[in-house]
């Protein structure tokens, strides 16, 4: 069977499984809709957390950025994995003990203020919409290549599938669907990585093949011969300060991501939250330790397949012509010598490669069987849809629970709260679709902006809310607003307004670190200049940090 038929079969089967799970998990009460009834087993919640965490950015785009940035691309590995450890060890158990549905719920109650709750809702929506833009772009890329439909159609198909199990099952449906999606995406990532490692090095374990073979030395030499810096040379594409700031922004941004934090509310106890965090870290590590190897293999194969080949030879490559139709791969024989050259100079470079195609195209470039290529397409969709569903529920719960129920109508019935939540999922889907059609950058770049916003808004108030009982509502509100507004202005100004990165050349992906520091400073100063929190709030914080004794 052809690649397209295999893709239709595997994607179709996976979608049918997601729809079945969503139907079986349909709910009618708000506890099931927003936090899955707090009845998810630890290992299942670990797999769901990993799927929620490993978005289209991890599956589709991260390896592509590492392929293009080389050593400097390790910021995504260090930042995202380190951040998850920070969240699991430092914040998650305390947030689970606090027992609220959402991050804005924690902020509103800890800082005894509906204004603080509203600011947190706005921040959660900003972060989630930015993040979901990357997921919808990933969905569009997969559909446009493997099912030969335009990106807009692909985004709409993805929206319908996500909407089905999100609207019916809420967090319960999303969680069990994400368990299935993790299984799909991890097999889709590992199988081609193992096969390519075997073909290139004779070692089927990608991590060992990457570390103990000479593939790195070969690629370094090829890079030098083509005029690039060595693949493993540090600080070629980013300054040391930018690498540091981006890594920190990704780490602390992870610890402030609302769609990851809410996963720790879906288990029955603090102990179960800790165990699910451990399982999630194991499941995440399987992919994240494979990504550097796949990045190196992919770059090696792409150069070998395209550089210095004639235009006629490249046009005979079925995968190259199909990717060219998506406009994510392009060829232009600038010097008219009949051969295509890959160079570091954009004026002479005759091969244009979008980083987002690296993982998806690698099985085809390596001449793997069509079913493997179809499986990778299904894996990319699983990664994008799993995270998109979690983000949509964050937006839904922020409005339906934190605004409608907690502020507007506290007497609303269970059925009414769930109904409002479902309406908000539908509204969020429309916005997500718009961003999928009009994305503001590469998948990982867009997602990195979301991490910066989370770092600058949520992390300081969550951290201080747990560990500093003197932090009050005035400080939290001022800190969140200052950090969020500063970071948004910097990102939008540099990316879309023509502004130069004025803070020592730090990129928009890394400016969230400065936003976080500003937030911390403003929160602490304002809190000390205004009255302390009420005695009952200070007692609540003391109890929150006390040893946890469970049955």
Listed range (181-185, 365-369, 420-424) with the worst mean pLDDT: 420-424
Q: CA-CA distance, 127 to 121, in Å (whole number)?
A: 10
Using H for helix, E for strand and C for coil, what is the string for 181-201? HHHHHHHHHHHHHHHHHHHHH
When pLDDT is averaged across residues 512-528 and rounded to a whole number, the result is 96
Residue 210 lies inside a defined structural domain of this protein: yes
Q: What is the signed CA dihedral for 456, 459, 462, 464, rounded to 10 degrees?
A: -80
**CB half-sphere exposure, 520, CA atoms < 13 A:** 14
Task: Give the SS3 label for residue 353.
Answer: strand
**Residue 430 clears pLDDT 90, i.e. is over it:** no
When pLDDT is averaged across residues 414-422 and rounded to a whole number, the result is 79
When pLDDT is averaged across residues 522-550 and rounded to a whole number, the result is 86
The larger pLDDT score, comparing residue 369 to residue 254, is at 369
Residue 159 pLDDT: 77
Q: CA-CA distance, 74 to 70, in Å (whole number)?
A: 8
Same domain, 342 and 413: no
Residue 454 pLDDT: 85
Residue 416 pLDDT: 82
Q: Which of 2-11, 205-214, 247-256 has the highest mean pLDDT?
A: 205-214
When pLDDT is averaged across residues 542-547 and rounded to a whole number, the result is 77
| Confidence label for 443 from pLDDT (cuts 50, 70 and 90) | low
Same domain, 295 and 313: no
The larger pLDDT score, comparing residue 271 to residue 203, is at 203
Same domain, 17 and 110: yes
Contacts 24+ apart (CB under 8 A), 13-18: 14/180, 14/181, 14/184, 14/378, 14/381, 14/382, 15/161, 17/180, 18/161, 18/164, 18/165, 18/177, 18/180, 18/181, 18/385
CB-count exposure of residue 318 (10 Å: 0-12, 13-18, 19+): exposed
Residue 293 pLDDT: 92
**Residue 243 clears pLDDT 80, i.e. is over it:** yes
Expressed as residue numbers, the domain containing 334 is: 300-358
Same domain, 256 and 401: yes
Residue 293 lies inside a defined structural domain of this protein: yes
Residue 479 pLDDT: 95
pLDDT tens figures, 391-415: 777 777 778 777 887 788 877 777 7
The larger pLDDT score, comparing residue 527 to residue 151, is at 527
CA 144 to chain centre: 21
Same domain, 86 and 138: yes
Q: What is the signed CA dihedral for 397, 402, 405, 409, rounded to 10 degrees?
A: -140
Residue 551 lies inside a defined structural domain of this protein: no
Decide: 231 and 223 in contact? Cβ < 8 Å: yes
Same domain, 433 and 284: yes
Q: Which of 102-116, 246-260, 415-429, 511-525 has the highest mean pLDDT?
A: 511-525
- What residue has token string 């590469």? 442
Residue 219 lies inside a defined structural domain of this protein: yes
pLDDT tens figures, 277-297: 889 889 988 999 999 999 999
Same domain, 229 and 186: yes
**510 phi, psi to nearest 5 deg:** -105, -10
The domain tally of the chain equals 2
- What residue has token string 């990933």? 138
Residue 444 pLDDT: 52
Q: Which of 130-139, 324-333, 451-460, 461-470 has the highest mean pLDDT?
A: 461-470
- Which CATH number do you get for residue 69? 1.20.1730.10
| Confidence label for 440 from pLDDT (cuts 50, 70 and 90) | low
Listed residue (343, 319, 322) closest to 333, CA to CA: 343
- Angle, nearest 10°, between helix axes 114-146 and 151-201? 70
Q: CA-CA distance, 548 to 546, in Å (whole number)?
A: 6
**CB half-sphere exposure, 306, CA atoms < 13 A:** 28
Listed range (59-68, 102-111, 144-153, 342-351) with the worst mean pLDDT: 144-153
Same domain, 522 and 391: yes
418-454 burial code (b ≥16 CB/10 A, e <16)? bebbbebbeebbebbbebbbebbbbbbbbbbbbbbbb
Average pLDDT over the chain, rounded to whole? 83
Residue 452 pLDDT: 83
Residue 529 pLDDT: 96
Same domain, 498 and 523: yes
Q: What percent of the chain has pLDDT over 90?
A: 21
Listed range (3-7, 52-56, 252-256, 514-518) with the worst mean pLDDT: 52-56
When pLDDT is averaged across residues 506-531 and rounded to a whole number, the result is 94
Q: CA-CA distance, 511 to 461, in Å (whole number)?
A: 18
Residue 550 lies inside a defined structural domain of this protein: no
User: What is the number of residues in the chain?
Assistant: 551
| Confidence label for 445 from pLDDT (cuts 50, 70 and 90) | low
pLDDT tens figures, 151-174: 777 778 777 777 776 666 667 777
Residue 101 pLDDT: 64
Residue 267 lies inside a defined structural domain of this protein: yes
**Residue 551 clears pLDDT 50, i.e. is over it:** no
The larger pLDDT score, comparing residue 428 to residue 530, is at 530
Same domain, 111 and 168: yes
Decide: 353 and 331 in contact? Cβ < 8 Å: no
pLDDT tens figures, 492-501: 888 778 888 8
**Residue 510 clears pLDDT 70, i.e. is over it:** yes
Same domain, 251 and 109: yes
When pLDDT is averaged across residues 76-103 and rounded to a whole number, the result is 80
* Domain closes at, from 314, 336, 358: 358
Number of neighbouring beta carbons within 10 Å of residue 317: 16
pLDDT tens figures, 306-339: 888 888 888 888 888 888 887 788 888 888 888 8
* Domain closes at, from 291, 326, 358: 358
Same domain, 330 and 392: no
Query: E-assigned strands of 315-455?
Result: 329-331, 351-353
Residue 363 lies inside a defined structural domain of this protein: no
Residue 549 lies inside a defined structural domain of this protein: no
pLDDT tens figures, 344-389: 888 888 888 888 788 888 898 888 999 998 898 888 888 877 777 7
């Amino acid at each position: 069977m052809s690649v397209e038929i295999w893709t239709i079969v595997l994607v179709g089967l996976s979608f049918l499984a997601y729809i079945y799970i969503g139907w079986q998990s349909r709910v009618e009460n708000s506890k099931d809709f927003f936090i899955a009834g707090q009845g998810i087993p630890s290992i299942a919640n670990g797999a769901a957390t990993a799927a929620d965490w490993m978005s289209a950015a991890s599956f589709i785009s991260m390896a592509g950025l590492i392929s293009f940035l080389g050593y400097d691309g390790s910021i995504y590995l260090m930042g995202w994995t380190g951040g998850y450890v920070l969240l699991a060890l430092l914040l998650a158990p305390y947030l689970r003990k606090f027992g609220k549905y959402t991050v804005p719920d924690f902020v509103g109650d800890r800082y005894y203020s509906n204004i603080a709750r509203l600011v947190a809702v706005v921040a959660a929506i900003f972060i989630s919409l930015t993040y979901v833009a990357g997921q919808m772009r990933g969905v569009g890329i997969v559909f446009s290549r493997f099912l030969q439909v335009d990106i807009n159609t692909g985004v709409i198909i993805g929206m319908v599938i996500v909407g089905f199990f999100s609207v019916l099952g809420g967090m319960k449906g999303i969680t069990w669907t994400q368990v299935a999606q993790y299984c799909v995406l991890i097999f889709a990532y590992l199988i081609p990585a193992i096969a390519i490692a075997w073909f290139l090095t004779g070692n089927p374990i990608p991590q060992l093949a990457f570390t103990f073979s000479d593939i790195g030395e070969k690629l370094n030499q090829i890079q030098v011969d083509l005029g690039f810096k060595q693949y493993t040379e540090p600080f070629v594409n980013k300054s040391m300060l930018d690498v540091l700031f981006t890594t920190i922004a990704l780490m602390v941004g992870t610890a402030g991501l609302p769609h990851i934090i809410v996963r720790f509310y879906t288990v029955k106890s603090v102990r179960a939250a800790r165990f699910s965090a451990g399982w999630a870290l194991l499941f995440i590590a399987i992919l994240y330790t494979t990504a550097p190897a796949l990045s190196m293999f992919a770059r090696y194969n792409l150069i070998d397949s395209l550089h210095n080949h004639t235009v006629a030879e490249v046009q005979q490559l079925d995968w190259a012509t199909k990717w060219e139709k998506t406009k994510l791969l392009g060829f232009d024989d600038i010097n008219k010598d009949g051969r295509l050259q890959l160079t570091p100079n954009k004026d002479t470079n005759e091969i244009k490669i979008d980083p987002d195609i690296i993982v998806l195209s690698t099985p085809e470039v390596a001449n793997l069987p069509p079913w493997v290529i179809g499986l990778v397409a299904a894996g990319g969709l699983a990664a994008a849809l799993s995270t998109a569903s979690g983000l949509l529920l964050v937006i839904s719960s922020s409005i339906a629970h934190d605004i409608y129920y907690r502020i507007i109508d506290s007497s609303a019935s269970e059925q009414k709260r769930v109904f409002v939540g479902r309406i908000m999922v539908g509204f969020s889907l429309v916005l997500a679709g718009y961003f999928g059609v009009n994305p503001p950058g590469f998948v990982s770049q867009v997602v990195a902006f979301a991490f910066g916003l989370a770092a600058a808004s949520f992390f300081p108030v969550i951290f201080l809310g747990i560990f500093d009982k003197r932090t009050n509502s005035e400080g939290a509100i001022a800190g969140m607003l200052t950090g969020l507004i500063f970071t948004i202005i910097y990102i939008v100004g540099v990316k879309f307004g023509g502004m130069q990165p004025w803070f020592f050349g730090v990129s928009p992906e890394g400016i969230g670190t400065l936003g976080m520091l500003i937030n911390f400073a403003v929160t602490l100063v304002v809190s000390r200049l205004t009255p302390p929190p009420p005695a009952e709030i200070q007692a609540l914080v003391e109890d929150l940090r006390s040893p946890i004794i469970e049955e």
